[in-house]
Amino acid sequence: MTDIINIYKKYQAQTFPSPSLLHVKSASGSYIKDYDNKEYLDFVAGVSACSLGHCNEQVTTAVQDQINKYSHVMVYGEYIQDPQYKLAKLLADNLPDSLSTTYFTNSGAEAIEGAIKLSKRINKRSEIIFCKNSYHGSTHGALSIMGNEEYKSNYRPLLPNCNQIIYNNIESLKKITDKTSAVVVETIQGASGFIEASQDFLNQLKKICSVNDVLIIFDEIQTCFGRTGKLFGFENTDLIPDILCIAKGMGGGFPIGAFISSWDNMNKLTHNPKLGHITTFGGHPIGCVASHATLDYILNNNIIKDINEKEMLFRELLVHTKIRSISGKGLMLSLDLYDNLETNKIVENCMKDGLLLFYFLFNDSSIRITPPLTITLDEIQKGCEILLKNLD
């Protein structure tokens, strides 16, 4: 084991000073197993990516069937590939008419990059407005609209003309003008605990954006496919975005992302010049069949119907003097503690007891709870018992 850890630490680039060193042997349903055959109940789900848990049979079968037909055959968009157009159609069937046309990417950050470029094509303006504490990915464009200076300062200069407003602060919406191309907003902010956009804020955002012809881009990369108790987070609001970005949970554990808008908007990428956005592997057939199977499974197995009940059970069980509040919605919950010194210890001790939890990027007094959407009530009960024991 020490040998493996040394190889892992020396040859695989690290991003965290003290990684958990969980060595994964296999994963199934809501559990991950290590090489000592110890099972861990997974309350993280690959940071909201494994919507249906691990190795969901419908997803795995779809992937295996596709591997036997073909894998990568051509850069994005050139050939007609069943996995791609079928997924695009299924998405359109479950979205409003104004979000009919999908461009597939490899990841969430790449979906954001595409959405920013598209907004510039649509209204020929350059200013992009983003919210304090937002996270939209780690590539340069996405980083330029990240609402946290600590993570940006080493990489400046970034994209010019990106300006920050305060999430849920109506006064700060005054920064949006007729020079603004788009405002990028998460329906639930995901990097500093889970904070919902208020309906008041969204109503005002909609008003100011329509007066100034500014596009609204929703980053639903973490909320998508059911996590909030609706298929898409914007269904919890009265607002339909002009461009929708999705990724993470849409792949059921496989890499895929997308930005979605009207046919007219998306068609702008075909001319002046042609190939307005290019990706080699975006919309990879394996990712597309995995995503189609995930969405189909969610729609046909009452997954969304049960999310509220699961959320309520978490809220009922997780009562403790060290818990200040539980924020978030559905199975996107943030356990906000009184003491930020305790979060690391609690996450580490829960792992020793067989429960996986995780942190937030910009908030060290909260603990992330984002289990697979398929988690059972018994598993919630079991995980919360471990958590409460370690809070004591």
> What residues line the site for ligand PLP (CB under 6 A)?
47, 107-109, 135-137, 186, 190, 219, 221-222, 247-248, 257
Residue 186 corresponds to which tokens in the numbers above?
Answer: 């998460």
Residue 197 DSSP label: P
**Cβ within 8 Å of residue 326, ≥6 positions away:** 314, 315, 318, 333, 334, 335, 336
Cα angle 211-214-219, degrees, rounded to a multiple of 5: 130
- Shortest distance, CB of residue 257 to ligand PLP, whole angstroms? 6
Q: Which two tokens stand for residue 131?
A: 């919210």
Cβ-based nearer residue to ligand PLP, 230 or 248: 248
In the complex, residue closest to ligand PLP by CB: 108
List of residues 6+ apart from 87 with CB closer than 8 A: 102, 104, 288, 289, 291, 292, 295
Whose Cβ is closer to ligand PLP: residue 222's or residue 261's?
222
What is residue 331's DSSP assignment?
T
Closest distance between ligand PLP and the C-beta of residue 107, in Å? 4
What span, in angstroms and rounded, lies between the C-alpha atoms of 284 and 296?
Answer: 18
From the number of C-beta atoms within 10 Å of its C-beta (0-12, 13-18, 19+), residue 339 rates as exposed
> Of the candidates 262, 172, 182, 175, which has an alpha carbon nearest to the alpha carbon of residue 214?
182
The nearest distance, CB 267 to ligand PLP, in angstroms, is 25
> Of 136 and 310, which CB lies nearer to ligand PLP in the complex structure?
136
Instruction: Round to whole Å and give the CA distance between 72 and 84.
Output: 12
Least distance from ligand PLP to the Cβ atom of residue 38, Å: 27
**Spatial separation of the C-alpha atoms in residues 282 and 300, rounded to whole Å:** 27
Q: Which is nearer to ligand PLP, 147 or 383 (CB)?
A: 147
- Nearer to ligand PLP by Cβ, of 27 and 247: the residue is 247
Listed residue (199, 197, 231, 184) closest to 330, CA to CA: 231
Q: Please, which residue, 225 or 379, has the CB nearer to ligand PLP?
A: 225
Of 332 and 384, the one with the shorter C-beta distance to ligand PLP is 332
Q: Minimal distance in Å, beta carbon 344 to ligand PLP?
A: 20
- CA–CA separation, 325 vs 331, rounded Å? 15
Kindly state the tokens that stand for 52. 């249906």
Q: Based on CB atoms, which residue is closest to ligand PLP, 131 or 391?
A: 131
State the Cα–Cα distance between residues 289 and 84, nearest whole angstrom: 8
Minimum CB separation from ligand PLP for residue 283, in Å? 14
Structure-block tokens of residue 294 = 């995930």
Quote the least distance from Cβ 48 to ligand PLP, whole Å: 7
Minimum CB distance to ligand PLP smaller for 108 or for 193 = 108
Q: Per DSSP, what are the bridge partners of residue 101?
A: 261
Minimum separation from the CB atom of position 134 to ligand PLP (A): 8
Least distance between ligand PLP and beta carbon 142 (Å): 7
